[in-house]
Chain A
């Protein structure tokens, strides 16, 4: 058995051990130490499994357990190794962070059991070598995360969010099962190795693709299948939200790539598959960020950003599918690398953002941005890490988000003439949507950072906030460093990811990417596009340093004074722009898309010009919930109600129904 697979199985074993630890260990501190230590170990093992799998290749074994006639298989290939790396690189910092985060948690035992099981489920999905193992671990992942979402089940909204999550996770599971069933019918075996070799007819391939796209799309939170996501992420403990948003959504992306790229392969692609994925990616990217901008619950906002980033990942993968379908494997490899690079980037910076949000929640006791403000003075370390993540997610240099969006843009721009006019229009359209989403994300994170960390405190809680402890700070420091490293040295990292397109497309980009040395990122050739993050960063440090040094001779102190208030002596914290105010122009511009529910209530006394009070309320609902989920829910309820009345008609009706059913069955099968 190769080393990488040993390491990966060890990571799973350590997670299982962590889940069993509450049986032996008693006492809050002991349990907390065990959880953090074992999860951190699992994270490190997963990371090293990922690295060694990408560098030296993996292997597969038949596991000693499973049904006698249906053994389970474990397999680690380049794709799985990459996702092991993604899982490990967030699991490790989250484990460190959890040690501080759970210090004041009263009921720690359920978290101790379900967090490691959740991690085990995700690693199991990535390692699965057959459909049975895949589904088993997939369900383990869904169910254990359900218990994590409903951890604070004393609140009604949490139970509700958990129920919707469970419902949609099982719908997704059912669709994925259908997809595997279709593939099984063609291959005659549950083993992935056999499914890969089997050929499948175009009709059934399309069926399997649609089932997989909708199933994994639901789990990944693609618009309009994202209904569970903005409810479930905010109510889970923040470190769990970090794992769910950072890795679990990526496991869904993994599943999609596994089924569509690996088990079926580029030969089976049809042009409308690619168009569907591109359209879904574009609409998720823009829709997610537009809805995120209108939130004032910090974690809900971050949850909508996950929808956006999944959209960006899908744009990369969709472009790759399109290019692979039309026979441009090199460019397809570039698109795939762009999508995968964004996958690991998003895992890291979204994990960091959720950890930062958790730190803020920990200190202020609220998720409502309207009662925060000025936290940069009281939580300076958290503020720095949150800022790093905010710059990264806004796709600004020199951090990592920019690199992956840059690669996606390059893929879209280099796409040659393919297919018909409609198909050709969708490529620049998705590039345009990517640009729009990136710019809106920057606006959104100016809002988040400005309202939460800058300005004056808007509530007593925010004014008395305390910096979080060293463990939580360390947990945030690690992904912040990753953000910078992945942003500055992409050329060293891309050859690692390159193993995935080598496996799926049998071409390698490694030579052209660093043809000009480690300084220059050149996707195809230097004359077409190049970006040198280390040089840009060095240049900026030199220029900035020179200017600062030149302008700061000794003895020039800065005088502090009151802020300028236009001569008004009574300035208070409520006069600042808040989250709702900040996004008002965008709400107005995208009125038609968002359809906000706005009310202005004016109180007047004595005369219509003497206004005493103005109250403005706005609620931006999710249109998908309003126009898709609720009608389906109502339809289900009315069918149930109809059945209910049928049940109560007495023996005659029941006998009639039985008779009709028997006749029908006879007609069908006789």
Chain B
């Protein structure tokens, strides 16, 4: 009974995460529009875009190979797999044992690998440029992300998200300096990994410093829809990960309906707060010059590493 219940919560959570992802992206852009004194296209606009793209014909360059054709499916699948591993509503979901945090990061890296390959496949300068920059920056962002997660896993003696969340829930709240470092690093990385301002601008298609959109230029129709959807899922995934790792309070411990509904409300509320903060940050900041991005990312890396050192020096020793 409880196994069935937890499997159904797992399925519900995965479907909810995927369906809500475009709404989240719409929510951020609406918030941004309001902050900039515009009306905005509305929260549902990404959904309308996706529906339209799915109905449209696919146009592909003459010599595109199977990599270009299948990359959207691989990217979407890997991102969705990663999203279903992250506990949003309930800890101890059946799939959460399948992959720990390191595997989660690796699944996202797999998606990025194919995204970059698809960018190189057509042989345009734009695609190559996007691929080169994406891989460069992610090569700096990924270790920083792993380091900041490691700060938390060292405390919890585990890399399983469920155990890490339980550890945070069961430890008395007190300010640990290492966690503050990890949080700062993680927020910086989340901005970079999702191609938000100050790293990349998600709203432009023709700007010389763009990264993510440059790789997608040749895509159309359902392929483009899958790629866009995957990046929206990635945004909500990172937000959920931040919530899980740093403020998990409210998440359900068992698969009972009341707890799950309550957890859902808590989760949506925390996401909304995070996204409002994201919109504020994006409105208040300008994009960095391309070669200042490595400095930003190395700062994140150093912060996370300081977190690790602080953990070893101050918290373990005591």
Contact = CB atoms under 8 A, between A and B. Distances in A.
If over half of A's interface residues share one DSSP class (helix, strand or loop), that class is named, otherwise mixed; here it is helix
Question: Lowest 3 A-B CB distances belong to which pairs?
Answer: A577-B128, A450-B120, A455-B123
Interface in A563-611: 563-565, 571, 573, 575-577, 581-586, 588-589
Contacts of B201: none
Given A425-B312, A529-B159, 8 more contacts: A395-B106, A406-B103, A414-B157, A432-B146, A439-B139, A454-B120, A529-B158, A536-B103
Nearest to A410: B159
Contacts of A625: none
Interface string A125-144: 00000000000000000000
Interface residues of A, number: 78
Interface of A: 373-374, 376-377, 391, 394-397, 402, 406, 409-410, 413-414, 417, 421, 424-425, 428-429, 431-432, 435-436, 438-440, 442-443, 445-447, 449-451, 454-456, 520, 526-532, 535-536, 539-540, 543-544, 547-548, 551, 556, 558-565, 571, 573, 575-577, 581-586, 588-589
Nearest to B137: A585
A582 B78 contact: no
A373 B159 CA distance: 41
Contacts of A435: 142-143, 146-147
A586 B102 CA distance: 24
A588 B291 contact: yes
Contacts of B113: 391, 394, 396, 442, 445-446
A442 B137 CA distance: 12
Contacts of B23: none
B136 A443 contact: yes
B22 to A, nearest CB: 15
Contacts of B312: 417, 421, 424-425, 428
Contacts of B80: 543
B275 to A, nearest CB: 26
Contacts of B132: 447, 577, 581-585
A108 B226 CA distance: 52
12 contacts: A432-B308, A454-B121, A455-B121, A530-B98, A531-B102, A543-B77, A544-B77, A559-B57, A560-B62, A563-B62, A576-B125, A589-B140
A530 B60 CA distance: 41
B150 A561 contact: no
B222 A551 contact: yes
A181 B54 CA distance: 73
A450 B119 CA distance: 9
Interface in B64-112: 65-67, 69, 73-74, 76-78, 80-81, 84, 95, 97-100, 102-103, 106-107, 109-110, 112
Given A428-B312, A443-B139, A589-B294, A528 B158 contact: yes
Nearest to A516: B97
A443 B135 contact: yes
Centre residue among B61, B117, B138, B294 by max chain A CB count within 10 A? B117
Nearest to B294: A589
A455 B58 contact: no
Contacts of A527: 158, 160, 162-163
